Structure 1
Amino acid sequence: MSTQSACRIALGLIYVRNQAQNGFSRAEENQGEGGAGERPPWSWLVAQAAKSSPLGPHVRRCVRAWLMPAFGTEGREAVQDFVPHLPPTVDEQLRALVTEIDRADRVVELLEQCLDDLSAAQARGGHYFTSRDLVRLMVEAVAPQNGDRVLDPVCGSAGLLAEAERYVRERTGLQPNLMLTGRDLHADTLQIARLNLAARGIRADLGAPTDSLSRPVDDPYDIVMANPPFNLSDWSVDRPLGDDPRWAGTVPPRDNANHAWMLHIAHALGPQGRASVLMADGAATGLRPSEQRIRERLVREDLVECVIALPPGLFPHVRIPCCLWLLNRDKSPHRGWGSADRRKEVLFVNARSAYEITSGSRQRRLAADGADRILRTLAAWRGAPTEQGGAAARYGDESGWCTSMSTAAVATAGYVLLPVTHALEPADEHVAARERVEELKWELYDKFEESYALEQDLRRILDGLDEL
């Protein structure tokens, strides 16, 4: 059984177990004793796992029966596609899996590990999910408040929506009253998102598979968070129209969706809306006139709050270095943001070195103290306390880490928004040379990715000529 199939079965089993723990009525459970009920209860499946008879058919029946309500309008075919065939050769693994899930005290940790494994298995196809270290940073950087309307236009496994719910719940001590909306182009990814949220008892509007870039959102949102695919080419079947309210005279290039995502998200923000968006470095430095005009528009409209240069190598499937962009419709002092007036200012944070190596591998991740330092810097710049009831720290530029610039100064710099250009390290020839080599290495990886994308486009054009 493939990793993807195994993860899907594990997700389904975790969902069944959580549903059983979260209010599944005893009467319905009794109906299912011995396998006679329409939805066999978790206790029945655990009993089957203790027997020597084939377990695969029981697991399939149980998971499929429970997923039908979770998948709603997608129907029986979607459930059948989600639950793979389970041959007798995997019975022992299934018994161990059911037993492990039944014994687990913190099923959410199993759920998150399962999503990590599934993301790694799907990464080559571009359907990876945002890692937990980045999810935490993206959510805490925009600090959603109870009652907010929250959107993820490319939601993947819905990790950002789940984290927004957790963030508000931990700070209020109450069941959050958030209006969560997620959209994604891929039906199978939406299935994962539904299970992830349902297993945690979170409600959200995920809708049908949707290409978010095809049209503007209908309603404004308080919070938008997104990790769109980097440097997506041919994102629009037709040339983007100039009368689209998202573009407003700054039509994004058709061969790269980075700036289309930025304008789409900016258009979705309400009067005090905030956004956190992961973007390839090229979005901050692109030299094409269309890209420069879009960055100029975002700065002139005072939408750019902060750009954070993240450590390279955080995504194992792609070598492109990236930044976290924070957009904000209102940088004046107000509740939920801070006491500092940061209108016509932009904060740049150079967190390139804020990483650690994952134990037992060479994979990089954002260091916990690095994420904390970013959030402390943001809080001080906004004039917000880092802890509830605490006092706000005093902000100051730190050489090599952060600098606050006026939008006029950003304009003078040619609207280049890459933090490493502005938050410079102290002069040290040895350190500077080493860091420049590292920077050039990741720039070269970026060029390799662009070259591959161009090659694929050229191949499609040549194949089309053969058909004429």
Structure 2
Amino acid sequence: MLDNGTKQRIDTARNILVGKVPDPKSQVEQITIALIYKFMDDMDQESLSLGGTASFFVGEYEKYGWTRMFDPRLGGFDMLALYAEAITRMSENPHIPQLFRDIFKNAYLPYRDPETLKLFLKTINEFHYDHSERLGDAFEYLLSVLGSQGDAGQFRTPRHIIEFMVAVVNPQKHETILDPACGTAGFLISAYKHIRKQNTIKDPGDQLSMQDRTRMVNNFTGYDISPDMVRLSLVNMYLHGFVTPQIYEYDTLSSEDRWHEYADVILANPPFMSPKGGIRPHKKFSVQSKRSEVLFVDYMAEHLTPNGRAAIIVPEGIIFQSGTAYKDLRKYLVEKHFLWAVVSLPSGVFNPYAGVKTSILFLDKVVARKTDRVLFVKVENDGFDLGAQRRPIDKNDLPAAQQLMQDWQQSVVEKGGEGFDLAQYAEIPALLVEKSRLAENGEYNLTGDRYKTTTKRERNLFPIVELKVVCEIISGQSPEGRFYNDEGIGTPFYQGKTEFSEIYIKAPTKWTTQVTKTAYKNDILMSVRAPVGPVNIASQEICIGRGLAAIRANEEKILHKYLFYLIRAKETEINGNSGAVFPSINRSEIEKIKIPLPPLEIQREIVTEIGDYQRIINGARMVVENWKPNIELELEEARKEAGVEEWEMVKLGEVCENLDSLRKPVTKSDRKNGIYPYYGASGIIDYVNDYLLDGDFLLISEDGANLLARNTPIAFSITGKTWVNNHAHVLKFENKVSQHYVELLINSMDISLYVTGSAQPKLNQKSLNSILIPFPPYEIQERIVNQIQIEEELILANKKFICIYNKKIFQTIDRVWNR
């Protein structure tokens, strides 16, 4: 379990480097090299203390011993020169294992500031090598700062997605496990932990024999084309107990050296993008292509053992792209009995690094041969919101998806899937599709929604027409960048959904003096590239870029407002078939969208009805968005009524008891699912099977960017049996009124003077206790709390109004469809 001290040392090391080494990946590499350097010296020192001899820093390399860096006789630049020379030459040291030489391969010091290096090495010196899992957890935390290598289409896989994939595939202790695009070895480490957990009664892995452990060390293999990623993988595996990790710098798609090596389990999130000009693969692949995402999936399918299984994250192009290679790959997976399940993930899973939409292909050569159906599962919520910060939320479809998939696997293996009742899993959108249906048009499209069936209606109320019958579709085209300006010269330019509002586009922020494609007032603008489907209405003549298409209604046949409401209601059903990495939709696909076409009189009635609902929604939303509790005003009015000069100012620590000593952090891997909320700096982040606190308490964030950004409340009340980690202060008040009063006050105050650090903002206990607050008598606090609670109830009522009338809009649209 990662302790707070270790986490803080890692954060400190990064903060020291950030001024000289701004790139997170380079920061991780510098910390990695320094840690291994220090750990080698620790092993030498341990050997010497036990009466042995040093192994690593001997002969001509003795002068590079870690402790030599701290010789007080060394000046700043001398120390810098010695360290830079040491890490550069360490890959040539014949006294260290090949593993360590590989880690130091191409190592160098990217800055020349002695003070920065001195502070950095002093922080690294606080780490000490031992053989516990703690160092592995620490290194995983360090790797978590890596976001994206977007130029190569590589995106760090969120741990909860990795754990879901591993749980479904369920690797066993005797199986060989491969990640052919291993990055930092996240999948391999997760698979190792899964196996160890499956073989635990008391202590982690206590049911694994020495023979099991020895075999496992040799059963995990990873390839990566990047030497930097190989270095990080080697360290990650080593710190998790793999003394000789099988991680290789290897071009999976172009080299044939390891083509004849197979695995029982393959887990991967391979690169989504191909280099310019494509890949130049050898001729052994079953599917001929130069697209890396196609070749990686082909490689993994072909390199499974006869009973092998795989889970692969793929971009949407693999799912529905109509290119020959994509279709051939899907046909190969279905007809050769590899594919047994497809899981569609939310489009924000890789935020904030990429908005790419992805799915997971599950392959199993045993399960797929025993059934003629493929399971499609749609994960709409993965436990986090889809914003840039990916904050935890209550909705999480992954546990239900995992249970469904495991039950389906078991049913197929035991009975060929006969009698399996999918209706029992109503909490997760899923369907079973016959393989023959996938093959019907030769596309083998793996978009689950297209195979949904509905009960046939007696008849449609109105004719169903394609958009091209009643509209003109204009695809956007972006002018050259040299024609843009932000001074209002020329024609307003819009290029994507970011400029949309509820109905009409926002005010322009960019103009162009060269107009390529024009949208006129009342044209409907559709986002056609990641995301596909959202619409707005043009409020004036504008130039549109390639992220938009204009849908121009023939007002003699269809009203633009009616068409807008209709398409907006269908937004989630609109899927393009021409994107590869990023979802997109082209003009011909938009033209084929089908809609009901009632007479103009009925269209006007529908527009009027929805317009009335929309006005109510707009009014309620204005109330919700503009309200915030004004505790300062309430305090001032109460002061005037009481006839006092000012309220008594007290330190927060004087009116409550701080219970931070009761907090206890637990890493996600060590938490056991339960019914008790597990709180962090921003609220509930998990549920566990035990509790630390029982009663009413106020939590205040201890660290995080939100202390300054204030996007969400930093103070929040909790009640009942709960567990709190070390990212939130715990305060106990004499009564609930004072607790809620202080909660309101802290959330409305500017506390930036009490917060230290900018890269890693922190409100320590001393600063928290010293915050000065007005603290009127109990009855004044109660009056203020009651007044604000009344206002909060009104806000809640307005939110309900919004939900009710949004539902009425969709009901109106459903009537048009005769639903």
**Which of 446, 449, 467 is residue 582 of structure 2 equivalent to?**
446
Out of 264, 276, 279, the residue aligned to residue 236 of structure 1 is 279
Are 1:435 and 2:572 counterparts?
Answer: yes
Corresponding residue number in structure 2 for 1:156: 183
Residue 8 of structure 1: which of 25, 29, 36 is its match?
29
Contact 1:401 1:423 in 2 (8 A): no
> Deviation per CA, 1:71-94, whole angstroms, max 9, x where unpaired?
728958953525545621312244
The structure with the greater share of residues assigned to strand is 2
Measured in 2, the distance between the counterparts of 1:403 and 1:40 equals 66
Query: What is the deviation of 1:32?
Result: 6.2
Letter in 1 for 2:344: A
Equivalent-residue separation in structure 1 for 2:169 and 2:43 (angstroms): 30
Distance 2:178 2:102 in 1: 28
Looking at structure 1, the residues matched to 333 and 579 of structure 2 have their Cα atoms a distance apart, in angstroms, of: 24
Match of 1:146 among 173, 181, 194: 173
Are 2:128 and 1:111 equivalent residues in the alignment? no
Q: CA deviation at 1:307?
A: 0.6
User: How has the CA–CA distance of structure 1 residues 379 and 19 changed in structure 2, closer, same or farther, with 3 Å as cutoff?
Assistant: farther
Match of 2:113 among 64, 83, 87: 87
> What residue is the counterpart of 1:455 in the other structure?
none
Larger Rg: 2
- Identify which of 315, 333, 351 aligns with 2:379: 351
Match of 1:184 in 2: 224
**CA distance 1:41–1:311, shift in 2 (3 Å):** farther
Change (3 A) 1:140 1:290: same
Q: In the TM superposition, what whole-angstrom CA distance separates every residue of 1:405-463 from its partner, at most 9, and x where no partner exists? A: 2222333475211234346899xx999646347x67x979825799xxxxxxxxxxxxx
Q: Structure 2 vs 1, CA of residues 97 and 311 (structure 1 numbering), >3 Å: closer, same or farther? A: farther
If the length of structure 2 is used for normalisation, what is the TM-score?
0.44
The residue number in structure 2 matching 1:419 is: 448
- For 2:264, which of 198, 202, 222 is the aligned residue? 222
User: Where does residue 379 of structure 1 map in the other structure?
Assistant: 406
* TM-aligned CA deviation for residue 308 of structure 1: 0.5
Tell me, in whole angstroms, the C-alpha distance in 1 between the residues paired with 2:391 and 2:322.
29
- Report the counterpart of residue 295 of structure 1 in structure 2: 330
Amino acid in structure 2 at the alignment position of 1:229: P
Whether the 8 Å contact between 2:152 and 2:274 is mirrored in structure 1 is no
Question: For 1:137 and 1:49, how far apart are their aligned partners in 2?
Answer: 49
CA contact (8 A) 1:401 1:424 kept: no
Partner-residue secondary structure (3-state), 2:141? helix
The residue aligned with 1:197 is 237
Give per-residue Cα distances to partners, 1:222-274, cap 9 Å, x unaligned.
01112111142544336x64xx3x31xxx3332x2322222111110111000
Change (3 A) 1:422 1:53: farther
Contact 2:154 2:270 in 1 (8 A): no
Alignment counterpart, residue 326 of structure 1, candidates 352, 359, 362: 362
Question: What secondary structure does 2:572 align onto?
Answer: helix
Contact 1:183 1:209 in 2 (8 A): yes
TM-score normalised over the length of structure 1: 0.73
Match of 2:289 in 1: 253
CA deviations 1:255-295 (Å, max 9, x no partner) are x2322222111110111000111100110111123422321
SS at match of 1:148: coil
- 1:209 correspondence with 2:250: yes
Deviation per residue, 1:9-35 (Å, 9 max, x gap): 2223444566678898532787569x9
Q: 1:77 to 1:151 in 2, by over 3 A?
A: closer
Partner amino acid, structure 2, of 1:156: G
User: SS of the residue aligned with 1:181?
Assistant: strand
Summarize the alignment of residues 38-49 of structure 1 with structure 2, pairs less than 5 Å apart.
38=61, 44=67, 48=70
Q: Report the Cα distance in structure 1 between the residues aligned to 2:183 and 2:25, rounded to whole angstroms.
A: 15
Q: Give 5+ residue unaligned stretches, structure 2.
A: 1-19, 200-204, 412-419, 456-565, 587-819
Indicate the larger mover: 76-85 or 396-405.
Answer: 76-85
Matched-pair identity in %:
17
Matched position secondary structure for 1:314: coil
Deviation, structure 1 residue 44: 4.4
Cα deviation per residue 1:195-241 (whole Å; 9 max; x = unaligned)? 11112221432234324344472132101112111142544336x64
Aligned residues: 419
- The question of whether the paired residues in 1 share the 8 Å contact of 2:261 and 2:303 is answered with yes
Tell me whether 91-100 or 310-319 shows the greater mean CA deviation: 91-100
- In structure 1, runs of 5+ residues without a counterpart are 333-340, 385-393, 451-468
**Residue in 1 that maps onto 2:317:** 282
Deviations 1:23-73 (A, max 9, x none): 98532787569x98857999948x949999756567667867887677728
Q: Please list the CA deviations of residues 339-362 of structure 1 after superposition, one character each: whole Å capped at 9, or x if unmatched.
A: xx9522211110033341499x52
CA deviations over 1:312-342 (Å, ceiling 9, x no partner): 122233322000111111117xxxxxxxx95
Q: What letter matches 2:98 in structure 1?
A: G
Alpha-carbon distance between aligned partners in 2 of 1:449 and 1:232, rounded to the nearest angstrom = 21
**Cα deviation digits, residues 352-384 of structure 1 (max 9, x gap):** 33341499x524789894332222121111228
> In 2 relative to 1, CA 445–287 (structure 1 residues): closer, same or farther, beyond 3 Å?
closer
Higher normalized contact order (CA 8 Å, seq sep 6+, divided by chain length): 1
Aligned-partner SS, 1:374: helix
Cα deviation for residue 309 of structure 1 reads 0.5
SS in 2 for 1:272: strand
Amino acid at match of 1:12: I
Aligned to 2:481: none
How far apart, in 2, do the equivalents of 1:270 and 1:170 lie? 24
Equivalent residue of 2:306, what SS?
Answer: strand
Change over 3 Å in CA distance of 1:5–1:261 after alignment to 2? closer
Confirm or deny: 8 A CA contact 2:181 2:224 kept in the other structure.
yes
Decide whether aligned partners of structure 1 residues 113 and 211 sit closer, same or farther in structure 2, where only a CA change above 3 A counts: same
Question: 2:115 is aligned with what amino acid?
Answer: T
The equivalent residue for 2:422 is 396
Do the aligned partners of residues 305 and 84 (structure 1) sit closer, same or farther apart at CA in structure 2, a change above 3 Å counting? same
Q: 1:407 pairs with 430, 435, 446, which one?
A: 435
Provide the rounded CA distance (Å) in 2 between the counterparts of 1:6 and 1:364. 25
2: CA distance, partners of 1:99 / 1:348: 50
| Contact 1:14-1:107 within 8 A present in 2 as well | no
Q: Over the residues paired in the alignment, what is the CA RMSD in angstroms?
A: 4.5
Give the match's secondary structure for 2:160: helix
Write the mapping of 1:264-279 to structure 2, written as runs, cut at 5 A: 264-279=299-314
Instruction: Specify the alignment match of 1:317 in structure 2.
Output: 353
